[in-house]
Amino acid sequence: MIKIFSTLLFSFLSLAGNAADLNAWSPQPEQHPTTIALQGMLSRLKESNSRFDASLMPVAAASNQNKLIAGLQSGEIGVAVLTSSTVVRLAPQAKVLALPFLFRDAKQMFKQLDGDVGKEFEKAMADKGVIVLGWYDGGSRSFYMRNRPVRSVNDLEGLKVRIPNRTDLRETVSALGGVPQILSYQDVNAAFDAGAIDAAENDLLSYEADQHYKRAKYFVTSNHAVQYEALVVSAVVWNKLSETERAGLREAGRDSALADREIWAKRMVAARTRLEKEGVKFIEQRDSMAFASRVSASYKPFMENPATASLLLRLMTAKS
């Protein structure tokens, strides 16, 4: 449960006249765990003082990453949840976390983000006017197939795999022997129906929500991309708070992050239970070393770059 302390009663009220002028933004739709956790924190802040009423901006309102960052840096946007790609713009070394098969699961990733690694990213972001309050779950991406499961790395050979227009996913699928098919998300079901693709990849909740499971009954928990998001506050807002208020807001942010992870975990269990009843076959990807060895080339530039080599070695050592 998110705790809001009395020290937050007067937080945000000195921002620019009306507390309601403070805008908040989530990259996800209303019923997504990210937005639920963010809205929960905002609601509790309002409960602590009825004069606080942050406006949650529509998803599309801050979809431009450059404008989003500029809005946070100017204070036009007070609170936001940033996707990993936006985090990388503020803390370039965080790009290491996008490497395929780097983490076994979200729990392993959060051990790093909640520790010294996360603190390094937080410092880099603070230097650019954005204060991290907590780390949210961004969903772990896995493969799902139309006709047959992938039980070993060789089973991906020649499969046409739908991906979004992301270089890292294109390189991953190619390295695993698949044939990347860049396709808009809304066209996935039609592509399955037409036989234009053999497989796709995404997180389990998306697979369920958009009924991809009706076309692709084999879900392989590869977790080839374990993703995160960052709950942040503008430094313009932060600098107007007292030390006591900052401590209270930090705790509220950490609680919000834990709430987000809990929502994700419960949704994942519920989705798997329901989908198994719908006939979905879940295959646990066990030969992780074989998959990781296939994508080792993507690690090379980071190992050769002095700015990221030490960080990557730490992450690889910590996960063993």
Q: What is the pLDDT of residues 100-159, one digit of tens each?
A: 999 999 999 999 999 999 999 999 999 999 999 999 999 999 999 999 988 888 899 999
Confidence at 20, pLDDT banded by 50, 70, 90: very low
Asked if 6-138+228-272 and 142-224+275-318 have one fold, the answer is: yes
Cross-strand pairs, 234? 130
8 A C-beta contact, residue 205 and residue 74: no
Question: How many alpha carbons lie under 13 Å from residue 39 in its C-beta half-sphere?
Answer: 14
Domain 6-138+228-272 sits in CATH 3.30.750.24: no
Q: Tens digit of pLDDT for each residue in 188-237?
A: 999 999 999 999 999 999 999 999 999 999 999 999 999 999 999 999 99
Q: State in words which class domain 142-224+275-318 has.
A: alpha beta
8 A C-beta contact, residue 311 and residue 98: no
8 A C-beta contact, residue 98 and residue 217: no
CA angle 29-35-40, nearest 5°?
145
Q: What's the pTM?
A: 0.91
**CA–CA gap between residue 74 and residue 76 (Å, rounded):** 6
Where exactly are the structural domains of the chain?
Answer: 6-138+228-272, 142-224+275-318
